[in-house]
Chains A and B, each alone.
Chain A
Amino acid sequence: EVQLVESGGGLVQPGGSLRLSCAASGFTVSSNYMSWFRQAPGKGLEWVSVIYSGGSSHYADSVKGRFTISRDNTKNTLYLQMNSLRTEDTAVYYCARDLVGWGQGTLVTVSS
């Protein structure tokens, strides 16, 4: 069974950092394209980043230079390193496999 479990969310002050994890089971992270999306409270969906099987990645302009997507093939886990966090980064963050399978999300709150 394909499963994605996000973790690492929490409360952080503006300017701080967090690393989100997305543990995958039932498939190989490196063989698919993996994405991060986010949803601010009461708002719509926003694409954040994607990493392809070959290793290339893309970012939304709003996070470029601050966020880094990566994966650990030995742990079959996707990551999102988030630096220089802003209040507008507050959202539930979802990882997804090929846009089809989504995790349950992890809440990131950026506030002083």
Chain B
Amino acid sequence: DVVMTQSPLSLPVTLGQPASVSCRSSQSLVHSDGNTYLNWFQQRPGQSPRRLIYKVSKRDSGVPDRFSGSGSGTDFTLKISKVEAEDVGVYYCMQGTQWPWTFGQGTKVEIK
């Protein structure tokens, strides 16, 4: 199985400041079709998960442009340009390139 490793696991941030979450996979996430199926999800407290980013850097509809994804191969990053109060929650990366689909452990973003 592809192991997804996120860091940090806890991220205290100041409102208005940037935040960055790293996700590394144990194998390349480049699919034989040329796509890289790396997703980012947000789970706010008490809510269901919500996908923010797919295929490394494509934002889902309605996702604020302060969220961005980047990376390639085995190293990926989710960045929040200026953290807002509503961004508090746990962020997960998930690979959909190889079976079984696997998630990172999650990174808890909280306000300092």
Contacts and interface: CB of A to CB of B under 8 A. Distances in A.
Interface of A: 37, 44-47, 50, 58-61, 94, 99-100, 102-105
Contacts, number: 41
B48 interface: yes
A11 B100 CA distance: 27
- Nearest 4 pairs between A and B by C-beta? A47-B101, A102-B48, A44-B106, A45-B103
Interface in B28-69: 39, 41, 43, 48-51, 54, 60
B106 A45 contact: yes
Given A45-B106, A50-B101, 14 more contacts: A44-B90, A44-B105, A45-B43, A45-B94, A45-B103, A47-B94, A47-B103, A59-B100, A61-B1, A94-B48, A94-B49, A99-B39, A99-B51, A102-B48
Nearest to B99: A58
Nearest to B48: A102
Interface of B: 1, 39, 41, 43, 48-51, 54, 60, 90, 92, 94, 96, 99-106
Nearest to A102: B48
Contacts of B101: 47, 50
Contacts of A103: 48
Name the residue in A37, A94, A104, A105 with the highest tally of chain B Cβ atoms < 10 Å from its Cβ. A37
Contacts of A59: 100
B100 A47 contact: yes
A100 B53 CA distance: 10
B60 A102 contact: no
Contacts of B92: 44-45
B102 A47 contact: yes
20 contacts: A37-B49, A44-B90, A44-B92, A45-B41, A45-B49, A45-B106, A47-B94, A47-B101, A47-B102, A58-B100, A59-B100, A60-B100, A61-B1, A99-B51, A99-B54, A99-B96, A100-B60, A102-B49, A103-B48, A105-B48
A29 to B, nearest CB: 18
